[in-house]
Each structure stands twice: as C-alpha cells, then as structure tokens.
Amino acid sequence: MPAWSVPRSPHSVFTTVAMRVGVRRAEGVAHAAQREAIRGAALGPLLRRCGDVLAVRSRASLAVLLTDDADLRALNARFLGVDAPTDVLAFPAGEPGRVGDIAISVERAIAQDGGDGSAELRLLAVHGLLHCLGHDHADGAAAREMTAATRALLPAQVVPDLVAAAG
C-alpha cells in the first residue's frame, strides 16, 4: 500500500512516495564518455518510475553502483564463483524496506551499446531491478516473461529477447 503525503492545502493533490534509489559512481568511472552516458541514462528517475509501475513498496531502497569491469569481475567471483567480468549483477535484499543492490559495469555497457551507453545502462538497470524483485530467465518461459516486463518498462527503447540462462 503506498504511503501518502500530507496535503498542504485543501486543494493539494495526494502523491505517492516513490522507491528510494541511490546511484553511486565508483572512482574508476572517470572518463568523460562514461560520465556522459551516466547523465544521459538518468537512472534514478527511471528506476523510481519502474518501482511505481511494479508496485514496489513505498520508500523501499535500492542501491546502484556504477563501476568498471574489474569490480564486476571481483564481485562475480566473490558471490557467484565466476572469475569473469559481466555487465550487471543483482543482489536481492530479502528484507523489508530494501529492494536490493545492483552493480553495473559502465565500461561494458558502453561497449555493448554501440552508441553512447545510456540506453544500455537503462536496460541493465531495469534488468537488475527485475532480478532484485524475483524475476529470472532460467528457462525459456521465464526469459520471455522477463523480456516482456523489460519492454513494458522501457517502451521507447529497443529491448532484445533474453536467452534462458545456461544452467
């Protein structure tokens, strides 16, 4: 159930309080092109809007770390036992008031995008949010469902079909 703000006057409109999103850029993400991609992606507003659409609990928090391949490789090795870089990792919180944590390689997003990287950052952020909320793409049906959810959240963007994760 969304929390409602207190109206300032009898003519005020009630508004919901969105999911709280913290976006942090790691020190290693310092190139002008990387900073521009991050600005262009506008991940905070995007993820708050997605939280509203997905009925994420009001004021629940989500942390996003924008970093590089080296950090993603270290996180992937530490938490998943895979000693290789990846584009995004999601860590569901499993506790009330927290959605989870997402780590995204800005370096990899720019390389995969073919453009300035903003679209790929948006795609990876939404992908990570969906994972934090329990979506997966372990099999074909789940991959199709997650692709459809991503397309609904990013209607102005081309979203490729997800492939079922290798088991």
How confident is the model over 87-114, as pLDDT tens digits? 999 999 988 899 999 999 999 999 998 8
Per-residue confidence at 14, pLDDT binned at 50, 70, 90? very low
Q: How far is CA 158 from the centre of its chain?
A: 16
User: 94 and 134 in contact (C-beta within 8 Å)?
Assistant: no
Half-sphere exposure for 64 (CA within 13 Å, toward CB) = 27
Closest CA to 109 of 9, 16, 28, 33: 33
Angle between helices 32-41 and 118-132 (to 10 degrees): 60
What pLDDT digit, counting tens, does each position of 30-77 carry? Answer: 899 999 999 999 999 999 999 999 999 888 999 999 999 999 999 999
Residue 98 dihedral angles phi and psi, to the nearest 5°:
-130, 130
Reduced to 3 states (helix: H, G, I; strand: E, B; else coil), residue 52 is: helix
The C-alpha atoms of residue 120 and residue 73 are separated, in whole angstroms, by: 19
- Can you give the pTM of this predicted structure? 0.88
The pLDDT value recorded for residue 115 is 83
Residue 117 dihedral angles phi and psi, to the nearest 5°:
100, -15
Query: Domains of the chain by range and CATH?
Result: 20-153 (3.40.390.30)
| Residue 49: count of CB within 10 angstroms of its CB | 14
The pLDDT value recorded for residue 166 is 65
